[in-house]
Structure 1
């Protein structure tokens, strides 16, 4: 029995723990921050959400800020008008898996299917996906392989606020971002999922985060803008 447990543990370490550490901290195929710039990227995971995403988009439009949304493919298909609105208003969209399942709990065949089907969905929507962020920021042995196969740039982050937790308040979200910000940071927040009402608290925090960081001299950009240093053309995400 002990031998079986050890074998399972070793397989898990090889399949999940080591690839996860390598991808998060070492791999050159993963973008973690922008270098030598006052750029900041606001990124939002887990949407689109018909309840919260419209309010967030209204707020971003009011503040003239462009963000990057990492979308769950199934949700994107069910809320396509929200996705088209994002792109029309100059935001960038990327892939955040098919159903938001951790790579640690996904077999090799499931990993392949998740990428294949997700890409199919975005093609059906007429959207050219160039970016990828794995759910929970977790990687398995095949995550980067399939991201690279589909020519997706994998994006991690440097700042997060645990805004998905029921224990996290609006003030804590603001404090964790504003008081710890650095040049080139990629900020991860959520416009869907998490504890009940969590996205609403995120939106209220962003309402104060944006003007404060703008006042401090930071410039908000999409991921592609930050990587290329040029204005992102929203039409480049549309096939049709």
Structure 2
């Protein structure tokens, strides 16, 4: 059996995230949502639904700012604010963190270690945020780029962080065809906990590069 991890960044968005959650429930597969604190604060009901449906909720900072373009004090405050909010909304501290654009600084890494979190990056993107990317293109890129053990990164929001208007709906449309295709090719959808357990149990270098251990 082959495996993959399905992850989504930048949400939640009240226009798109509920549609995506319905699709995942219909397909009976788990995903990980790396949420922006400002968005999560506006729609805590979506965070609760993610957890109730068995999905993982991770931190994607409070404001989705580029750490390289922000001062160290701001990076620390932004990280800590999102961590506190996650605790308030879910009743537990976040375990997983994905830096916006995958960019970390020494301050970011110290925060990850201080809070005993794991930084999760990705293997596969489909440029689903771009203006001229169609749902058919997204689906085909996923099919062409996926491999056993891959972490897929898509977006259920992001119009305010550089994504094209309506782009998340194209991602959802792409998944309607891509998910059955992946299942037909023998892929099992893992939770992040299952993924981490597999990395811990087996020395798999291509997976370990996606994780910063605390």
TM-score (structure 1 length as normaliser): 0.78
Residue of structure 2 in register with 1:198 after alignment: 167
- Partner of 2:145, secondary structure, is coil
Residue of structure 1 in register with 2:134 after alignment: 169
Residue of structure 1 in register with 2:202 after alignment: none
Whole-Å separation in 2 of the counterparts to 1:76 and 1:112: 19
Shift of 1:168: 1.0
1:1-240 equivalence runs, <5 A: 38-125=2-89, 126-193=91-158, 194-229=163-198
After superposition, the CA RMSD in angstroms is: 1.1
Shift of 1:121: 0.9
Whole-Å separation in 2 of the counterparts to 1:112 and 1:155: 18
- Partner of 2:101, secondary structure, is helix
Shift of 1:123: 1.7
TM-score (structure 2 length as normaliser): 0.87
Whole-Å separation in 1 of the counterparts to 2:66 and 2:109: 14
CA offset digits 1:13-53 (Å, max 9, x no partner): xxxxxxxxxxxxxxxxxxxxxxxx72200000000111100
Shift of 1:128: 2.9
User: Gaps (5+ residues) in structure 1?
Assistant: 1-36, 230-240
Whole-Å separation in 2 of the counterparts to 1:151 and 1:104: 22
Whole-Å separation in 2 of the counterparts to 1:120 and 1:182: 35
- Partner of 1:189, secondary structure, is strand
- Partner of 1:124, secondary structure, is helix
User: Gaps (5+ residues) in structure 2?
Assistant: 199-214
- Partner of 2:4, secondary structure, is strand
Runs of 4+ in 1 over 4 A off after TM superposition: none
Structure index of larger Rg? 1
Whole-Å separation in 2 of the counterparts to 1:189 and 1:163: 7
Whole-Å separation in 2 of the counterparts to 1:202 and 1:77: 24
Whole-Å separation in 2 of the counterparts to 1:191 and 1:81: 16
Whole-Å separation in 1 of the counterparts to 2:2 and 2:114: 32
